[in-house]
Structure 1
Amino acid sequence: MTGPKIHLTFAPELHLFLPAPRRTAEATAPTPLTTDGKATLGHVVESLGIPLTEAGELRVDGRPVPPSHVPAEGETVHVAAVTRPQRTPGRVPHPDGTPLRFLLDVHLGTLARRMRLLGIDAAYESEDIGDPALAALSAREQRVLLSRDRGLLHRRELWAGAYVYSHRPDEQLRDVLNRFAPSLTLAPWTRCTACNGDLVSADKDSVSGRLQQGTQRAYDVFAQCTACERVYWRGAHHQRLEEIVTGALTEFGETAA
Protein backbone atom coordinates (compact mmCIF):
# COMPACT_ATOMS: atom_id res chain seq x y z
CA MET A 1 0.00 0.00 0.00
CA THR A 2 1.49 3.34 -1.07
CA GLY A 3 1.37 6.54 0.91
CA PRO A 4 0.18 9.99 -0.08
CA LYS A 5 1.58 11.69 -3.16
CA ILE A 6 2.74 15.27 -2.75
CA HIS A 7 4.33 17.80 -5.11
CA LEU A 8 7.44 19.79 -4.24
CA THR A 9 9.18 22.91 -5.46
CA PHE A 10 12.46 24.27 -4.17
CA ALA A 11 14.16 27.66 -4.16
CA PRO A 12 16.82 27.84 -6.91
CA GLU A 13 19.57 28.11 -4.29
CA LEU A 14 18.68 24.61 -3.07
CA HIS A 15 18.84 22.85 -6.43
CA LEU A 16 22.50 21.94 -5.99
CA PHE A 17 21.54 19.62 -3.12
CA LEU A 18 18.95 17.68 -5.14
CA PRO A 19 19.62 14.46 -7.06
CA ALA A 20 20.30 15.23 -10.74
CA PRO A 21 17.00 13.83 -12.14
CA ARG A 22 14.89 15.79 -9.67
CA ARG A 23 16.99 18.91 -10.22
CA THR A 24 16.29 18.72 -13.96
CA ALA A 25 12.56 18.13 -13.48
CA GLU A 26 12.32 20.87 -10.88
CA ALA A 27 13.40 23.43 -13.48
CA THR A 28 10.04 23.15 -15.27
CA ALA A 29 7.32 22.12 -12.78
CA PRO A 30 6.62 20.82 -9.26
CA THR A 31 7.90 17.27 -8.95
CA PRO A 32 5.85 14.44 -7.39
CA LEU A 33 6.94 12.32 -4.46
CA THR A 34 5.15 9.47 -2.74
CA THR A 35 5.76 9.39 1.02
CA ASP A 36 5.08 6.66 3.56
CA GLY A 37 2.41 8.74 5.27
CA LYS A 38 4.40 8.93 8.51
CA ALA A 39 7.54 10.90 7.66
CA THR A 40 7.61 14.56 8.67
CA LEU A 41 8.22 17.23 6.07
CA GLY A 42 11.63 17.89 7.62
CA HIS A 43 12.56 14.24 7.10
CA VAL A 44 11.26 14.34 3.51
CA VAL A 45 13.36 17.42 2.74
CA GLU A 46 16.48 15.84 4.23
CA SER A 47 15.86 12.56 2.38
CA LEU A 48 16.14 14.53 -0.86
CA GLY A 49 19.62 15.73 0.13
CA ILE A 50 18.85 19.17 1.54
CA PRO A 51 20.25 19.81 5.04
CA LEU A 52 17.67 21.55 7.22
CA THR A 53 20.36 24.12 8.02
CA GLU A 54 19.85 25.38 4.45
CA ALA A 55 16.04 25.14 4.30
CA GLY A 56 14.16 28.30 5.13
CA GLU A 57 10.38 28.61 5.37
CA LEU A 58 8.34 25.52 4.50
CA ARG A 59 4.96 26.24 2.90
CA VAL A 60 2.15 23.79 2.17
CA ASP A 61 -0.49 25.02 -0.26
CA GLY A 62 0.71 28.54 0.49
CA ARG A 63 0.63 28.37 4.29
CA PRO A 64 3.75 28.11 6.50
CA VAL A 65 4.22 24.84 8.39
CA PRO A 66 6.90 23.52 10.77
CA PRO A 67 9.32 20.73 9.82
CA SER A 68 7.22 18.41 12.01
CA HIS A 69 4.26 18.67 9.61
CA VAL A 70 3.28 15.29 8.11
CA PRO A 71 2.38 15.79 4.42
CA ALA A 72 -1.05 14.63 3.24
CA GLU A 73 -2.30 13.49 -0.16
CA GLY A 74 -2.24 16.16 -2.86
CA GLU A 75 -0.38 18.83 -0.91
CA THR A 76 1.98 21.14 -2.75
CA VAL A 77 5.10 21.96 -0.77
CA HIS A 78 7.54 24.80 -1.39
CA VAL A 79 10.92 24.78 0.34
CA ALA A 80 12.52 28.22 0.56
CA ALA A 81 16.20 28.90 1.12
CA VAL A 82 17.52 30.36 4.36
CA THR A 83 16.70 34.05 4.61
CA ARG A 84 19.73 36.31 4.55
CA PRO A 85 20.70 37.78 6.87
CA GLN A 86 19.79 34.87 9.12
CA ARG A 87 18.38 36.15 12.39
CA THR A 88 16.08 33.57 13.94
CA PRO A 89 16.01 30.12 12.20
CA GLY A 90 17.05 27.18 14.35
CA ARG A 91 19.10 28.17 17.40
CA VAL A 92 20.68 31.25 15.84
CA PRO A 93 21.50 33.87 17.13
CA HIS A 94 23.26 32.81 20.30
CA PRO A 95 20.72 32.35 23.13
CA ASP A 96 22.42 34.67 25.62
CA GLY A 97 22.75 37.51 23.11
CA THR A 98 26.53 37.26 22.75
CA PRO A 99 28.12 37.15 19.27
CA LEU A 100 27.98 33.84 17.50
CA ARG A 101 30.88 31.44 17.74
CA PHE A 102 31.86 29.15 14.90
CA LEU A 103 33.50 25.80 14.28
CA LEU A 104 35.05 25.05 10.89
CA ASP A 105 35.94 21.65 9.51
CA VAL A 106 39.36 20.56 8.27
CA HIS A 107 38.81 21.91 4.73
CA LEU A 108 38.15 25.54 5.72
CA GLY A 109 41.43 26.65 7.25
CA THR A 110 41.83 29.80 5.15
CA LEU A 111 38.27 30.89 5.94
CA ALA A 112 38.92 30.32 9.65
CA ARG A 113 42.02 32.54 9.57
CA ARG A 114 40.14 35.31 7.75
CA MET A 115 37.26 35.18 10.23
CA ARG A 116 39.75 35.41 13.10
CA LEU A 117 41.39 38.36 11.37
CA LEU A 118 38.04 40.14 11.73
CA GLY A 119 37.83 39.22 15.41
CA ILE A 120 35.22 36.45 14.97
CA ASP A 121 35.53 33.49 17.33
CA ALA A 122 36.26 30.70 14.83
CA ALA A 123 37.50 27.36 16.15
CA TYR A 124 39.14 25.20 13.51
CA GLU A 125 40.09 21.55 13.42
CA SER A 126 43.32 21.19 11.41
CA GLU A 127 43.00 17.40 11.53
CA ASP A 128 40.03 15.30 10.50
CA ILE A 129 38.54 14.27 13.84
CA GLY A 130 35.46 12.72 12.22
CA ASP A 131 31.88 13.86 11.78
CA PRO A 132 30.55 12.60 15.15
CA ALA A 133 33.28 14.46 17.07
CA LEU A 134 32.73 17.68 15.12
CA ALA A 135 28.98 17.56 15.67
CA ALA A 136 29.47 16.85 19.38
CA LEU A 137 31.90 19.79 19.69
CA SER A 138 29.38 22.07 17.97
CA ALA A 139 26.74 21.04 20.50
CA ARG A 140 29.02 21.16 23.54
CA GLU A 141 30.40 24.64 22.82
CA GLN A 142 27.28 26.00 21.08
CA ARG A 143 29.12 26.83 17.87
CA VAL A 144 27.74 27.13 14.35
CA LEU A 145 29.43 24.43 12.31
CA LEU A 146 30.58 25.65 8.88
CA SER A 147 31.24 22.94 6.31
CA ARG A 148 31.05 21.96 2.66
CA ASP A 149 30.21 18.41 3.73
CA ARG A 150 26.47 18.02 3.19
CA GLY A 151 26.30 14.79 5.14
CA LEU A 152 27.89 16.40 8.20
CA LEU A 153 25.17 19.08 8.24
CA HIS A 154 22.49 16.37 8.45
CA ARG A 155 23.68 15.23 11.88
CA ARG A 156 20.97 15.69 14.50
CA GLU A 157 23.30 16.59 17.37
CA LEU A 158 24.56 19.82 15.76
CA TRP A 159 23.87 22.97 17.73
CA ALA A 160 23.57 24.86 14.45
CA GLY A 161 25.22 24.66 11.05
CA ALA A 162 25.63 26.29 7.67
CA TYR A 163 26.80 25.12 4.28
CA VAL A 164 29.69 27.06 2.73
CA TYR A 165 28.75 27.38 -0.93
CA SER A 166 31.99 28.49 -2.59
CA HIS A 167 35.46 26.95 -2.95
CA ARG A 168 37.08 30.42 -2.95
CA PRO A 169 38.08 32.00 0.39
CA ASP A 170 37.04 35.54 -0.60
CA GLU A 171 33.56 34.35 -1.55
CA GLN A 172 33.36 32.06 1.47
CA LEU A 173 34.01 34.96 3.84
CA ARG A 174 31.47 37.17 2.06
CA ASP A 175 28.91 34.36 2.23
CA VAL A 176 29.35 33.86 5.98
CA LEU A 177 29.22 37.58 6.73
CA ASN A 178 26.16 38.04 4.50
CA ARG A 179 24.36 35.23 6.30
CA PHE A 180 25.22 36.01 9.92
CA ALA A 181 26.16 39.71 10.05
CA PRO A 182 23.37 40.75 12.48
CA SER A 183 24.72 38.31 15.07
CA LEU A 184 28.42 39.14 14.65
CA THR A 185 30.77 41.67 16.15
CA LEU A 186 33.62 42.61 13.83
CA ALA A 187 36.72 43.57 15.80
CA PRO A 188 39.71 43.33 13.43
CA TRP A 189 43.21 42.65 14.71
CA THR A 190 42.01 41.39 18.11
CA ARG A 191 42.27 37.61 17.60
CA CYS A 192 45.18 35.29 16.81
CA THR A 193 44.80 33.92 13.30
CA ALA A 194 46.84 30.86 14.28
CA CYS A 195 45.00 29.63 17.38
CA ASN A 196 41.94 31.89 17.86
CA GLY A 197 43.25 33.36 21.11
CA ASP A 198 42.99 37.03 22.12
CA LEU A 199 45.65 39.54 21.06
CA VAL A 200 47.05 42.22 23.35
CA SER A 201 49.56 44.98 22.75
CA ALA A 202 53.12 43.89 23.48
CA ASP A 203 56.18 45.88 24.45
CA LYS A 204 59.05 45.42 22.01
CA ASP A 205 61.48 44.46 24.73
CA SER A 206 59.16 41.77 26.08
CA VAL A 207 58.93 39.97 22.73
CA SER A 208 62.43 40.62 21.40
CA GLY A 209 63.49 37.05 22.14
CA ARG A 210 60.89 35.82 19.63
CA LEU A 211 61.97 38.18 16.82
CA GLN A 212 64.65 37.98 14.18
CA GLN A 213 67.12 40.86 14.18
CA GLY A 214 65.75 42.32 10.97
CA THR A 215 62.25 42.45 12.43
CA GLN A 216 63.54 44.06 15.62
CA ARG A 217 65.21 46.84 13.63
CA ALA A 218 62.30 47.47 11.22
CA TYR A 219 59.26 47.44 13.51
CA ASP A 220 58.25 48.96 16.83
CA VAL A 221 54.56 48.04 17.24
CA PHE A 222 53.69 44.49 18.24
CA ALA A 223 50.82 42.37 19.51
CA GLN A 224 50.98 38.98 21.18
CA CYS A 225 48.51 36.14 21.58
CA THR A 226 47.55 35.46 25.19
CA ALA A 227 47.10 31.76 24.40
CA CYS A 228 49.93 30.60 22.12
CA GLU A 229 52.19 33.67 22.62
CA ARG A 230 52.68 34.18 18.89
CA VAL A 231 53.89 37.71 18.06
CA TYR A 232 52.34 39.89 15.34
CA TRP A 233 53.54 43.02 13.54
CA ARG A 234 52.72 44.87 10.35
CA GLY A 235 54.95 42.91 8.02
CA ALA A 236 55.07 42.20 4.29
CA HIS A 237 51.58 40.70 4.12
CA HIS A 238 49.87 43.47 6.05
CA GLN A 239 48.56 45.31 2.97
CA ARG A 240 46.67 42.22 1.75
CA LEU A 241 45.24 41.64 5.22
CA GLU A 242 44.24 45.30 5.44
CA GLU A 243 42.35 44.93 2.15
CA ILE A 244 40.38 41.99 3.57
CA VAL A 245 39.55 43.94 6.74
CA THR A 246 38.59 47.12 4.91
CA GLY A 247 36.38 45.24 2.46
CA ALA A 248 34.52 43.47 5.27
CA LEU A 249 34.02 46.62 7.32
CA THR A 250 32.86 48.60 4.29
CA GLU A 251 30.28 45.99 3.29
CA PHE A 252 29.19 44.57 6.63
CA GLY A 253 30.47 46.79 9.41
CA GLU A 254 27.18 48.61 9.91
CA THR A 255 25.07 45.44 9.86
CA ALA A 256 27.23 43.51 12.31
CA ALA A 257 26.25 43.88 15.94
Structure 2
Amino acid sequence: MNGPEIHLEFAPELLLFVPRARPTGRTKAATDGVSSLGHVVESLGVPLTEVGALLVDGREVSAGHVPAAGESVTVRAVAHPQRVPGAPLRFLLDVHLGTLARRLRLLGVDTAYESTDIGDPALAARSAAERRVMLSRDRGLLRRRELWAGAFVYSTRPEEQLGYVLDRFRPELRPWTRCTACNGLLRRVTKDDVADQLKGGTHRTYDVFAQCSACGRAYWKGAHHEQLEAIVQRAVAGTGRDGRP
Protein backbone atom coordinates (compact mmCIF):
# COMPACT_ATOMS: atom_id res chain seq x y z
CA MET A 1 0.00 0.00 0.00
CA ASN A 2 1.51 3.29 -1.13
CA GLY A 3 0.90 6.81 0.16
CA PRO A 4 -0.78 8.13 3.33
CA GLU A 5 -3.15 5.73 5.07
CA ILE A 6 -6.33 5.79 7.10
CA HIS A 7 -7.45 3.12 9.54
CA LEU A 8 -10.89 1.59 9.17
CA GLU A 9 -12.94 -0.66 11.42
CA PHE A 10 -16.03 -2.30 9.88
CA ALA A 11 -19.09 -3.56 11.73
CA PRO A 12 -19.28 -7.39 11.90
CA GLU A 13 -22.29 -7.38 9.53
CA LEU A 14 -20.14 -5.83 6.80
CA LEU A 15 -17.17 -8.17 6.94
CA LEU A 16 -18.42 -10.41 4.14
CA PHE A 17 -17.82 -7.47 1.80
CA VAL A 18 -14.26 -6.85 3.03
CA PRO A 19 -12.28 -10.10 2.72
CA ARG A 20 -9.01 -8.27 3.34
CA ALA A 21 -10.11 -7.07 6.78
CA ARG A 22 -8.92 -8.86 9.89
CA PRO A 23 -11.45 -10.84 11.98
CA THR A 24 -11.70 -7.73 14.15
CA GLY A 25 -12.97 -5.76 11.16
CA ARG A 26 -9.86 -3.59 10.98
CA THR A 27 -7.99 -2.72 7.80
CA LYS A 28 -6.12 0.15 6.19
CA ALA A 29 -6.62 2.09 2.99
CA ALA A 30 -4.63 4.68 1.10
CA THR A 31 -5.96 8.22 0.92
CA ASP A 32 -5.16 10.73 -1.81
CA GLY A 33 -6.63 13.84 -0.16
CA VAL A 34 -9.29 14.07 -2.90
CA SER A 35 -11.46 10.94 -2.83
CA SER A 36 -14.45 10.92 -0.48
CA LEU A 37 -14.81 8.50 2.41
CA GLY A 38 -17.78 6.96 0.64
CA HIS A 39 -15.59 6.24 -2.38
CA VAL A 40 -12.93 4.65 -0.15
CA VAL A 41 -15.48 2.43 1.58
CA GLU A 42 -16.96 1.31 -1.74
CA SER A 43 -13.50 0.66 -3.19
CA LEU A 44 -12.99 -1.84 -0.37
CA GLY A 45 -16.13 -3.70 -1.49
CA VAL A 46 -18.93 -2.34 0.70
CA PRO A 47 -22.00 -0.88 -1.08
CA LEU A 48 -23.08 2.36 0.59
CA THR A 49 -26.61 0.95 0.75
CA GLU A 50 -25.32 -1.22 3.62
CA VAL A 51 -23.52 1.53 5.51
CA GLY A 52 -25.04 3.35 8.46
CA ALA A 53 -23.12 5.94 10.45
CA LEU A 54 -19.53 6.87 9.53
CA LEU A 55 -17.39 8.03 12.43
CA VAL A 56 -14.02 9.73 12.02
CA ASP A 57 -12.05 9.85 15.27
CA GLY A 58 -15.36 9.49 17.10
CA ARG A 59 -17.37 12.19 15.30
CA GLU A 60 -20.03 11.41 12.71
CA VAL A 61 -19.35 12.57 9.16
CA SER A 62 -21.07 12.23 5.80
CA ALA A 63 -19.98 9.93 3.00
CA GLY A 64 -18.64 13.04 1.25
CA HIS A 65 -16.00 13.62 3.92
CA VAL A 66 -12.48 13.63 2.47
CA PRO A 67 -10.30 11.67 4.89
CA ALA A 68 -6.87 12.88 5.93
CA ALA A 69 -3.85 10.70 6.61
CA GLY A 70 -3.92 8.98 9.98
CA GLU A 71 -7.65 9.30 10.61
CA SER A 72 -9.48 6.40 12.26
CA VAL A 73 -12.80 5.53 10.66
CA THR A 74 -15.60 3.41 12.12
CA VAL A 75 -18.04 2.05 9.54
CA ARG A 76 -21.34 0.96 11.04
CA ALA A 77 -24.03 -1.13 9.40
CA VAL A 78 -27.34 0.41 8.41
CA ALA A 79 -29.77 0.57 11.32
CA HIS A 80 -32.96 -1.48 11.48
CA PRO A 81 -35.67 -0.54 10.80
CA GLN A 82 -34.44 1.55 7.90
CA ARG A 83 -36.64 4.47 6.89
CA VAL A 84 -36.79 5.49 3.24
CA PRO A 85 -38.09 9.06 3.13
CA GLY A 86 -40.03 10.81 0.42
CA ALA A 87 -42.09 8.02 -1.15
CA PRO A 88 -44.40 5.13 -0.25
CA LEU A 89 -42.30 2.05 0.47
CA ARG A 90 -42.10 0.02 -2.72
CA PHE A 91 -39.58 -2.53 -3.94
CA LEU A 92 -37.91 -3.60 -7.18
CA LEU A 93 -36.25 -7.03 -7.36
CA ASP A 94 -33.83 -8.35 -9.95
CA VAL A 95 -34.14 -11.55 -11.94
CA HIS A 96 -32.57 -13.73 -9.23
CA LEU A 97 -35.18 -12.98 -6.53
CA GLY A 98 -38.40 -14.29 -8.04
CA THR A 99 -39.49 -16.34 -5.02
CA LEU A 100 -38.91 -13.40 -2.69
CA ALA A 101 -40.96 -11.19 -5.03
CA ARG A 102 -43.91 -13.59 -4.95
CA ARG A 103 -43.78 -13.83 -1.15
CA LEU A 104 -43.70 -10.06 -0.70
CA ARG A 105 -46.68 -9.75 -3.04
CA LEU A 106 -48.46 -12.49 -1.07
CA LEU A 107 -48.10 -10.20 1.95
CA GLY A 108 -49.52 -7.26 0.02
CA VAL A 109 -46.22 -5.39 -0.38
CA ASP A 110 -45.90 -3.39 -3.62
CA THR A 111 -43.15 -5.36 -5.38
CA ALA A 112 -41.99 -4.98 -8.97
CA TYR A 113 -39.90 -7.80 -10.39
CA GLU A 114 -37.93 -8.25 -13.60
CA SER A 115 -38.21 -11.86 -14.76
CA THR A 116 -35.50 -11.33 -17.38
CA ASP A 117 -32.06 -9.81 -17.08
CA ILE A 118 -32.56 -6.27 -18.39
CA GLY A 119 -29.15 -5.10 -17.17
CA ASP A 120 -27.98 -2.97 -14.27
CA PRO A 121 -28.45 0.45 -15.95
CA ALA A 122 -32.12 -0.29 -16.74
CA LEU A 123 -32.80 -1.61 -13.24
CA ALA A 124 -31.19 1.41 -11.62
CA ALA A 125 -33.14 3.74 -13.91
CA ARG A 126 -36.42 2.05 -13.00
CA SER A 127 -35.59 2.26 -9.30
CA ALA A 128 -35.08 6.01 -9.68
CA ALA A 129 -38.07 6.64 -11.96
CA GLU A 130 -40.54 4.74 -9.77
CA ARG A 131 -38.83 5.49 -6.44
CA ARG A 132 -38.49 1.84 -5.54
CA VAL A 133 -35.97 0.26 -3.18
CA MET A 134 -33.73 -2.02 -5.25
CA LEU A 135 -33.27 -5.44 -3.63
CA SER A 136 -30.41 -7.49 -5.04
CA ARG A 137 -27.41 -9.69 -4.30
CA ASP A 138 -25.47 -7.87 -7.03
CA ARG A 139 -23.02 -5.53 -5.31
CA GLY A 140 -22.18 -3.75 -8.55
CA LEU A 141 -25.84 -2.89 -9.12
CA LEU A 142 -26.17 -1.51 -5.60
CA ARG A 143 -23.21 0.80 -6.22
CA ARG A 144 -24.93 2.61 -9.10
CA ARG A 145 -25.43 6.26 -8.24
CA GLU A 146 -28.82 6.61 -9.93
CA LEU A 147 -30.57 4.15 -7.59
CA TRP A 148 -33.40 5.63 -5.57
CA ALA A 149 -32.45 3.36 -2.66
CA GLY A 150 -31.17 -0.17 -2.34
CA ALA A 151 -30.40 -3.09 -0.07
CA PHE A 152 -28.26 -6.19 -0.33
CA VAL A 153 -30.15 -9.45 0.25
CA TYR A 154 -27.73 -11.44 2.38
CA SER A 155 -29.18 -14.94 2.24
CA THR A 156 -29.82 -17.26 -0.71
CA ARG A 157 -32.78 -18.93 1.06
CA PRO A 158 -36.19 -17.36 0.32
CA GLU A 159 -37.53 -17.70 3.87
CA GLU A 160 -34.46 -15.92 5.28
CA GLN A 161 -34.56 -13.32 2.51
CA LEU A 162 -38.16 -12.49 3.38
CA GLY A 163 -37.39 -12.30 7.08
CA TYR A 164 -34.49 -9.97 6.46
CA VAL A 165 -36.46 -7.57 4.24
CA LEU A 166 -39.32 -7.44 6.74
CA ASP A 167 -36.93 -6.77 9.61
CA ARG A 168 -34.94 -4.12 7.77
CA PHE A 169 -37.79 -2.11 6.27
CA ARG A 170 -40.89 -3.09 8.30
CA PRO A 171 -43.29 -2.60 5.37
CA GLU A 172 -47.02 -2.50 6.00
CA LEU A 173 -48.43 -5.98 5.42
CA ARG A 174 -51.79 -6.46 3.70
CA PRO A 175 -51.89 -10.19 2.94
CA TRP A 176 -53.97 -11.58 0.09
CA THR A 177 -54.42 -8.20 -1.63
CA ARG A 178 -51.93 -8.47 -4.52
CA CYS A 179 -51.45 -10.76 -7.48
CA THR A 180 -48.35 -12.87 -6.93
CA ALA A 181 -47.86 -13.07 -10.70
CA CYS A 182 -47.95 -9.39 -11.68
CA ASN A 183 -48.29 -7.28 -8.48
CA GLY A 184 -51.76 -6.01 -9.43
CA LEU A 185 -54.47 -5.50 -6.81
CA LEU A 186 -57.00 -8.26 -6.17
CA ARG A 187 -60.77 -7.82 -6.02
CA ARG A 188 -63.54 -10.17 -4.92
CA VAL A 189 -65.48 -11.71 -7.80
CA THR A 190 -68.16 -14.33 -8.32
CA LYS A 191 -67.57 -17.81 -9.64
CA ASP A 192 -69.25 -16.83 -12.89
CA ASP A 193 -66.76 -13.98 -13.37
CA VAL A 194 -63.83 -16.43 -13.57
CA ALA A 195 -65.61 -19.56 -14.79
CA ASP A 196 -63.49 -19.69 -17.94
CA GLN A 197 -60.36 -20.21 -15.78
CA LEU A 198 -61.78 -23.03 -13.64
CA LYS A 199 -61.49 -26.74 -14.25
CA GLY A 200 -64.40 -29.01 -13.36
CA GLY A 201 -63.19 -29.99 -9.90
CA THR A 202 -62.35 -26.44 -8.93
CA HIS A 203 -65.70 -25.19 -10.20
CA ARG A 204 -67.55 -27.75 -8.06
CA THR A 205 -65.42 -27.43 -4.91
CA TYR A 206 -64.79 -23.71 -4.38
CA ASP A 207 -67.12 -20.74 -4.07
CA VAL A 208 -64.92 -17.81 -2.98
CA PHE A 209 -62.75 -16.20 -5.63
CA ALA A 210 -60.61 -13.13 -6.25
CA GLN A 211 -59.27 -11.77 -9.51
CA CYS A 212 -56.32 -9.55 -10.39
CA SER A 213 -57.51 -6.19 -11.64
CA ALA A 214 -54.42 -5.93 -13.86
CA CYS A 215 -53.83 -9.33 -15.49
CA GLY A 216 -57.18 -11.04 -14.81
CA ARG A 217 -55.73 -14.09 -13.06
CA ALA A 218 -58.18 -15.88 -10.76
CA TYR A 219 -57.38 -16.91 -7.16
CA TRP A 220 -59.03 -19.30 -4.71
CA LYS A 221 -58.04 -21.33 -1.64
CA GLY A 222 -56.57 -24.28 -3.51
CA ALA A 223 -54.22 -27.13 -2.69
CA HIS A 224 -51.31 -24.88 -1.67
CA HIS A 225 -53.33 -22.54 0.53
CA GLU A 226 -52.14 -24.01 3.84
CA GLN A 227 -48.51 -23.55 2.82
CA LEU A 228 -49.15 -19.95 1.80
CA GLU A 229 -51.15 -19.31 4.96
CA ALA A 230 -48.18 -20.50 7.03
CA ILE A 231 -45.89 -18.01 5.27
CA VAL A 232 -48.37 -15.22 5.97
CA GLN A 233 -48.81 -16.17 9.63
CA ARG A 234 -45.05 -16.30 10.26
CA ALA A 235 -44.60 -12.89 8.66
CA VAL A 236 -47.46 -11.29 10.57
CA ALA A 237 -46.23 -12.79 13.84
CA GLY A 238 -42.78 -11.37 13.13
CA THR A 239 -40.94 -14.63 13.73
CA GLY A 240 -37.65 -15.42 12.02
CA ARG A 241 -37.29 -11.91 10.66
CA ASP A 242 -33.52 -11.60 10.61
CA GLY A 243 -32.20 -13.23 7.46
CA ARG A 244 -28.67 -11.91 7.77
CA PRO A 245 -26.10 -14.61 8.49
Normalized against structure 2, the TM-score is what? 0.94
Report percent identity of matched pairs.
67
- The residue identity in structure 1 corresponding to 2:49 is T
1:199 aligned onto 2:186: yes
- Aligned residue in 2 for 1:79: 75
Aligned in 2, Cα 1:70/1:163: closer, same or farther, shift over 3 Å?
A: same
Report 1:1-257 matches (<5 A): 3-18=3-18, 20=19, 22-23=20-21, 26-28=22-24, 30-87=26-83, 92-93=84-85, 95-96=86-87, 98=88, 100-181=89-170, 184-251=171-238
Q: Is the 8 A contact 1:106 1:128 kept in 2?
A: yes
Counterparts of 2:37 and 2:24 in 1: how far apart (Å)? 22
SS in 2 for 1:68: coil
Tell me, in whole angstroms, the C-alpha distance in 2 between the residues paired with 1:180 and 1:142: 15
Measured after TM superposition, the shift of residue 108 of structure 1 is 0.1
Unaligned runs of 5+ in 1: 253-257
Q: CA deviation at 1:67?
A: 0.3
Q: Which structure 2 residue ranges, 5 or more long, are not aligned? A: 240-245
> Letter of the aligned partner of 1:56 in structure 2?
G
2:209 maps to a residue whose letter is: F
CA distance in 2, matches of 1:235, 1:150: 38
CA distances 1:84-108 after superposition (whole Å, capped 9, x unpaired): 1112xxxx13x14x3x010000000
Q: 1:80 to 1:212 in 2, by over 3 A?
A: same
Q: Distance in 2 between matches of 1:53 and 1:193?
A: 27
Distance in 1 separating the partners of 2:26 and 2:91:
36
Equivalent residues of 1:51, 1:153 under 8 A apart: yes
Structure 1: which 4+ aligned runs deviate by more than 4 Å? Answer: none
Q: CA deviation at 1:37?
A: 1.2
How far apart are the structure 2 equivalents of 1:166 and 1:116? 19
- Give 3-state SS (helix, strand or coil) of 1:249's partner: helix
**What code does the residue aligned with 1:172 have?**
Q
1:159 Cα deviation from its structure 2 partner: 0.5
Q: Deviations over 1:85-139 (max 9, x none)?
A: 112xxxx13x14x3x0100000000000000000000000000000000000000
So what's the TM-score if we normalise by structure 1? 0.90
Asked whether the equivalents of residues 3 and 37 of structure 1 are also in contact (C-alpha less than 8 Å), the reply is no
The 1:212/1:28 distance shift into structure 2, 3 A limit, reads: closer
The 1-side partners of 2:31 and 2:11 are apart by 21
Residue 6 of structure 1: SS of its match in structure 2?
A: strand
Shift of residue 29, structure 1, vs aligned partner: 6.8
Q: 2: CA distance between counterparts of 1:29 and 1:220?
A: 58
Report the number of matched residues.
238
Compute the RMSD of aligned alpha carbons. Answer: 1.2
1:165 Cα deviation from its structure 2 partner: 0.3
Q: What secondary structure sits across from 1:128 in the alignment?
A: coil
